[in-house]
Structure 1
Amino acid sequence: MRIVLVGFTCMVTFFALNSDASIYKMVENAYKVTLVGAFVPLVCGLYWKRATNLGGTLAVIFGLTVWIGMELFQPDGLMPPQLAGLIASFTGMIVGSLAVKGFGPQAAH
């Protein structure tokens, strides 16, 4: 874990020193990643009893994929990329959590 922390710190420091973006823009971009990748699994894990590990994993994958795809390939889209990523993240959580319904321990009864 310490190796990951040191490696991540080095990468962030390198990015900050070689970027021409303002600190405001860098913080804004950091919160976009958190919004599309971590917000939905956290909220659903806390408040939705049917949330599962598969739902959380799909939420992260769907949210990040849609957000990065829209950032790269549709800069002037109809909706902000982070909003599309958030919607995709909720979709992944719902699909992944409800998909395992028939495969759990209750299905054997």
Structure 2
Amino acid sequence: MARLATTSDAFNAVAEPQRRQILDLLAQGERSVNEIAALLELKQPQVSKHLRVLREVGLVAMREAGQQRLYRLQGEGLKPIHDWVKPFEHLWRERFDRLADYLKELQTQEKEK
């Protein structure tokens, strides 16, 4: 089966770890390409390519401020990922609740010894 282009959707775009790191930085606020490159210790052209992919799938927006281009997270672009993950939330909450109950039971048994 042929692999989809990274610009086809948000899932493919965030499959790349460096793009997820860029999204993490942009979740903290607007940043320039050079700032992102410095913080992630990447070369500017590499960051620019990642930002282009993120823009094409709607995860990042860009605005010009003088000669600088500033990038920010587009939260709406993450909605397909959120919608896909949402049904699993109940499953994990249930498992963590059961784990918490089991740990309490172990603590109670330990105190009784």
TM-score by length of 1: 0.26
If asked which structure has higher relative contact order (CA below 8 Å, sep 6+), I would say 1
More helix by share: 1
TM-score by length of 2: 0.25
